[in-house]
Amino acid sequence: MTAPRPDDIPPGAFGSRVTAHVALLHGRYRISHCELVALFVDLFKLPISLGSVVALQQVASEALEPAYGEVEQAVATSDHANVDETTWCEGTRKPWLWTAVTAAATLFRIHSSRGKKGLVVLVDEAFAGLLTSDRLRTYNSVETEWRQLCWAHLLRSFQGRVDARGPWQAAAADLLAVAELVMAVWGRFKAGEIDRDTMRLMLQPLQQAIWEQVERGRRQSNEFGPLCADLATRFPALWTFVDHEEVEPTNNAAERALRPAVLWRRGCFGTQSEAGSRFAERMLTVSATLQQHQRPLLPFITDAITAYWSRQHSPSLFNPA
């Protein structure tokens, strides 16, 4: 008979640290599977097969599942989230990678839909916080009073209308000029030059000017008209940041969070299976959330794998021992 495996002994040929290094090097530093095989030989004098690399990543993925659940709960109960999405590759499929960034955590989710189904999987319908996003139609399912539209996207849209040259050019240039003044006021507030009450007073005439320009623009029967009509419909969502301290006027937090994922997609061509996508979601989520709390990634993954193999409680992302 074979004795049962002690809880502190790994079930295979590789231990927690090797498994954690495989997960870290692929999931955080985006080194391809083939390069990982070569790197382990060159760096650690440790022969490892391509199949073992993939298998160890799945071990890490399962070990990080409790931490991923922690982040899901933290996002669901947060007061505010920045959300965004980008394309992803999963074998021959082309799903979407969604992210939600809050003050305490960052969540990633890969889903087949860029529509409401994808958004609900990321931030479910019970979410009661404010949402910052771009003007993608999907986000229109969120009530206007619970939204903040991204001014960085708006500036690019206005600049695009100016550069396109047409009968709308002068109106677009006027709108762009006032929008830039809004961002200048916000910049002074962020720099500590003015307080929130002063910012609010300085923005009042700019709000009125933008409203008047949007109202005139929506009557145009060219490509500038629909943009202004959409802004008029969702006008309050331009100014949520004025009265809510946790909200900024741009979606930069979500855009920054997506950059490592975009580099992963470009360098490693995404993932090849659903299991690979779950690994990507969990690694991106745990890495970004630990970074928010200024905690190192490798020790956490190692501890999570050790706990998983020994059937102990997984370490917490938010309450370190």
Give the C-alpha separation, 302 to 63, whole Å: 9
Token pair belonging to 156? 């690019």
pLDDT, tens digit (0-9, with 9 covering 90-100), for 277-306? 999 999 999 999 999 999 999 999 999 999
Residues 79 and 132 sit within 8 Å (Cβ to Cβ): no
The mean-pLDDT minimum among 102-111, 147-156, 222-231, 303-312 falls in: 222-231
SS3 call for 109: strand
Position 1 confidence tier, pLDDT thresholds 50, 70, 90: low
Overall average pLDDT of the 56-70 stretch: 97
Give the C-alpha separation, 183 to 191, whole Å: 12
Beta carbons within 8 Å of 186's beta carbon, 6+ residues apart: 151, 199, 241, 248, 249
Write down the H helix ranges in the chain: 16-27, 33-44, 50-76, 116-122, 151-164, 169-190, 196-217, 224-233, 240-243, 252-268, 274-292, 297-309
Position 124 confidence tier, pLDDT thresholds 50, 70, 90: confident
**Phi and psi for 98 in degrees, rounded to 5?**
-105, 150
Residues 187 and 199 sit within 8 Å (Cβ to Cβ): no
pLDDT at 3 over 80: no
Give the C-alpha separation, 266 to 235, whole Å: 37
CA 315 to chain centroid:
23
Overall average pLDDT of the 28-36 stretch: 94
Nearest to 82 by CA among 58, 100, 106: 100
pLDDT at 7 over 70: no
Q: Say what the pLDDT of residue 8 is.
A: 63
Q: Say what the pLDDT of residue 211 is.
A: 97
Position 223 confidence tier, pLDDT thresholds 50, 70, 90: confident
Overall average pLDDT of the 132-137 stretch: 95
Q: Say what the pLDDT of residue 12 is.
A: 73
Overall average pLDDT of the 213-240 stretch: 91
Mean residue pLDDT across the chain: 93
Of 60 and 11, more confident: 60
Overall average pLDDT of the 20-35 stretch: 95
Count of beta carbons in the 10 Å neighbourhood of residue 96:
19
The two beta strands, 80-87 and 96-101, are antiparallel
Beta carbons within 8 Å of 94's beta carbon, 6+ residues apart: 87, 88
Enter the pTM of the model.
Answer: 0.93
